[in-house]
Amino acid sequence: MKKILIFSIVSFSFIAVFGYVLLNQSFATGYCPGYSASKGIAQCYCYPLSVTATNDTNACTNGKTTSVTVNWNGANCAYCTYTLHWTDNGASKTTNWTNSCPDNKSDPAYANNQTTITGTDITGSIGVAPLNQGSQITSDTPNQCPAPTTPTPTNSPTPAGPTATPTPGPHTKAKVVLLLPAVGGKNGGNASPGRPTRNVTLYFYQADQDPSDPSITPITRTGTVHLDTTTGSGTYGYFINTTLDIGGLNGTYKVLVKSNQYLRKQFVPKTGDNSQTYVFTPGQTTVLPTITLLAGDIVPPPTTAGGDYGDNTIDISDYNMLARGCYGGKATTSSCANKEGADLNDDGKVDGIDYNILIRTFNILANQGTQGGDGE
């Protein structure tokens, strides 16, 4: 009985040892650079791993995969070198990879290792096998880059033939002659004003329209008049424009004019013409009669530099601006909101001359029984 037991134990030990050797020899052909007895590894176990291959960010160039990240996901790790198999631009490529297993099996690097392969056109599948054991390849196919699309050509419309540039019709012109009190050298006014050119606005009303009706919006045209300084001319001292452009205006209209500092006034035809209208024809110049404007429309001041001001009325607010806000040394203080307007003779000062011009205007308006210009 004792012999049988001894034989059985010996037989079992032989089978166990022999089986262990056979089992290990099936993996012994792998290259094991990490073999070390200190790590408790008696033999080299080169297990086949699973592989995951994915395109890297921006890995596509003209529809070709140029960079792939390969991950080996193994259940066991034994310091083995594996061979990576792949295809680039139709040529077979191989490279060796050695897994770097940490001592601590709980470390994520124990079962997950990755590397990157690059090329010009990586196609097919990426395979991995223990070195010299090509039969144990496991593989994966990376995401392939989409083929570049060729945009479908669109038919470009045939450009139309050249279009004729419309020829503008002839413009209507108006001759405007204004007398501005205290400036221009006429009747003792300032012959050298600081502003020899003035902006003017013309207002055109239909023959049956009332300019004093605020519900009516007139046609307006803007332009400039310039001081005539030619001694002996028929318009010396006046502000004139012999060809003020009023566009393509055509028809019969009542006409009023206004400039900064002055009340609006209507052009009145010669005595005996009760129509109070003028005919305007494209290509022709309509001569408007010479008129004198009344000075002193100062308030409200302009909202922008160089802008229009006044409200077509001369009253106590204009007086206060000149006499109390801008007179004398106050002209350069914050109390003077409109020095240009208060300087009625345009000599750069607000003084007694300007004050007298304003008082003269008040007297004229008092005799007329009004405070406003025409159309008020």
**Domain spans in the chain, listed from the N-terminal domain onward:** 29-140, 173-368
Q: Which residues neighbour 283 within 8 Å (Cβ) at sequence distance 6 or greater? A: 169, 170, 171, 172
- Give the pLDDT confidence of 71-110 residue by residue, as tens digits: 766 545 555 677 777 787 778 788 777 665 554 555 655 5
Q: How far apart are CA 374 and CA 26, in angstroms?
A: 118
Query: Is 29-140 assigned to CATH 1.10.3470?
Result: no
Confidence of residue 139 (pLDDT cuts 50, 70, 90): confident
The answer, yes or no, to whether residue 282 has pLDDT greater than 90, is: yes
Query: Taking 70 as the threshold, does the pLDDT of residue 274 lie above it?
Result: no
Cα–Cα–Cα angle for 132, 136, 137, rounded to 5 degrees: 95
Alpha-carbon span 178 to 190, nearest angstrom: 15
| pLDDT tens string 4-20 | 444 443 343 433 333 33
Domain 173-368 = CATH 3.20.20.70 = no
Beta-bridge mates of residue 295 = 262
Q: What's the whole-number mean pLDDT along residues 189-199?
A: 94
pTM of the model as a whole: 0.56
The answer to whether 312 and 334 have CB atoms below 8 angstroms apart is: no
Q: 293 versus 53: which is more confidently predicted?
A: 293
- What is the percent of the chain with per-residue pLDDT over 90, rounded to a whole number? 46
DSSP calls for 67-82: EEEEEEE-S---S-EE
Q: Where does residue 314 rank: exposed (0-12), middle (13-18), buried (19+ CB within 10 A)?
A: buried
Peptide bond into 300 cis (omega under 30): yes
**Is there a shared CATH topology between the 29-140 domain and the 173-368 domain?**
yes
**Nearest C-alpha neighbor of 180 from the set 258, 233, 247:** 258
